[in-house]
Structure 1
Amino acid sequence: MDTASSSSNSTMAEFDYLFKLLLIGDSGVGKSTLLLSFTSNTFEDLSPTIGVDFKVKHVTLGGKKLKLAIWDTAGQERFRTLTGSYYRGAQGIIMVYDVTRRETFTNLSDIWAKEIDLYSTNQDCIKMLVGNKVDKESERVVSKKEGIDFAREYGCLFLECSAKTRVNVEQCFEELVLKILDTPSLLTEGSTGVKKNIFKEIPPQSDASTSGCCSW
């Protein structure tokens, strides 16, 4: 994957589309570690996210220059009400579970899939199911077949990965983004011609003649 310099200024000429991606799942499944592994190619055992964090990554995929704004949400229940608004406008949602912890998989259908139905504003939003921590194969309690069956039932893409060893980390984001690029309605949402500030979560301005994008 080609990665543009993160220090470059964000102007319209530098990317064709801006996509908002969301990481959801129980606390401790490795959402923040997965994001860090993808955006900075490093691994760290991170403390639980408080509220919401985000990172930006420039990539070139499918012949398009893309700016990815990736939101990392807290998994703890006490933060659940804070994160509902962050589903708004997301073109892609990554549901993460820990293959060594059965409850993190069970909660996908009990909690997280219901949240997507409740809060997601894009009907065509692409969902990706990710089973993390496959480096702990000896501790696995959720089989790959169970992940595949869940993904089929809920209409998700599916991959297993290890944020620690970086196995399939880039593929998680690449497959999701390529599917977004293949969905016309989401391309319209992510067009740089639409003025919006997805960091402040302000609804798009009605003045369609206003060009350019916010500076972050």
Structure 2
Amino acid sequence: MSPYEYLFKYIIIGDTDKRFRADHDLTIGVEFGARLINLDNKQIKLQIWDTAGQESFRSITRSYYRGAAGALLVYDITRRETFNHLNRWLDEVRQNSNPHMAIILVGNKCDLEKREVSAEEGAQFARQNGLIFLETSAKTAKNVEEVKKIYI
């Protein structure tokens, strides 16, 4: 018997990196994480797939769209070029995934004062494309739990 009743798989896409963690190398291939949570007395397993936005792994990422319940479309609020690439990533996810996939637009690094993309710009992009929007900080964990709550 399985230790969980439901499995939700989601992927992280966008021009991202993990530079804030000095003890962690950039993804080589695809990182995988899983977490069991309890919701309404049911065990739910969340799977997270992440290529850290590396161009060399974009073709691998396409295979992970299949079967995913959701995607985090991430950009760095301190780097305008990551925001400028959102349309490309959004087109790719919509071409390679379930048309009913939940997509959350995540502006990361909101803990930093240096900002090249305003929260209003992020919210407007999300509205125009039918996405949910949050700003987060992977470093301080601001709004990280809120992202999880949206999916379940």
What letter corresponds to residue 110 of structure 2 in structure 1? V
Structure 1 unaligned spans of 5+:
1-10, 34-42, 179-216
Question: How far 1:62 sits from its partner (Å)?
Answer: 5.0
The equivalent of 1:80 in structure 2 is 58
Contact kept, 8 Å, 2:16 with 2:74, in 1: the verdict is no
Question: 2: CA distance between counterparts of 1:128 and 1:61?
Answer: 21
Q: 1:62 to 1:133 in 2, by over 3 A?
A: farther
**Equivalent position to 2:10, from 10, 14, 21:** 21
Contact 1:51/1:83, CA 8 A, preserved across alignment = no
**2:119 aligned residue:** 144
122, 126, 129: which one aligns with 2:105: 129
1:65 matched to 2:43: yes
SS in 2 for 1:68: strand
Take 1:132 and 1:157, find their aligned partners in 2: how far apart are those partners? 14
* C-alpha displacement of 1:74: 3.7
Specify which structure has the higher proportion of helix: 1
Measured against aligned partners, the alpha-carbon deviations of 1:117-157 in whole angstroms (never above 9, x if no partner) come to 2211x221100111110110x20111111111111112111
Q: Aligned residues, how many?
A: 151
Residues 59 and 81 of structure 1: is their aligned pair in 2 closer, same or farther, counting only changes over 3 Å? same
Paired with 1:159 and 1:74, the residues of 2 have a C-alpha distance of 19
Report if aligned partners of 1:134, 1:162 keep a CA contact under 8 Å in 2: yes
Partner-residue secondary structure (3-state), 1:79: helix
When normalised by structure 1's length, the TM-score is: 0.65
Aligned AA (1:16): E
Q: For residue 127 of structure 2, what is the amino acid of its counterpart? A: R
The higher radius of gyration belongs to 1
Query: In structure 2, the residue corresponding to 1:127 is in which secondary structure?
Result: strand
Deviations 1:60-81 (A, max 9, x none): 2355321011101241222211
RMSD between superposed Cα atoms in Å: 1.7
SS of the aligned residue for 2:85 comes to helix
Q: Is the 8 A contact 2:12 2:51 kept in 1?
A: yes
Matches within 5 A, 1:13-52: 14-28=3-17, 30=18, 44-45=21-22, 46-52=24-30
Distance 1:163 1:94 in 2: 13
The residue aligned with 2:90 is 113
TM-score normalised over the length of structure 2: 0.91
Q: Which runs of structure 2 are paired with 1:133-212 in the superposition (5 Å)?
A: 133-136=109-112, 138-175=113-150, 177-178=151-152
Q: Percent identity?
A: 49
- Contact persistence 2:7–2:44 (CA under 8 A): yes
Contact 1:128 1:157 survives alignment (8 Å): yes
Q: Does 1:93 align with 2:68?
A: no
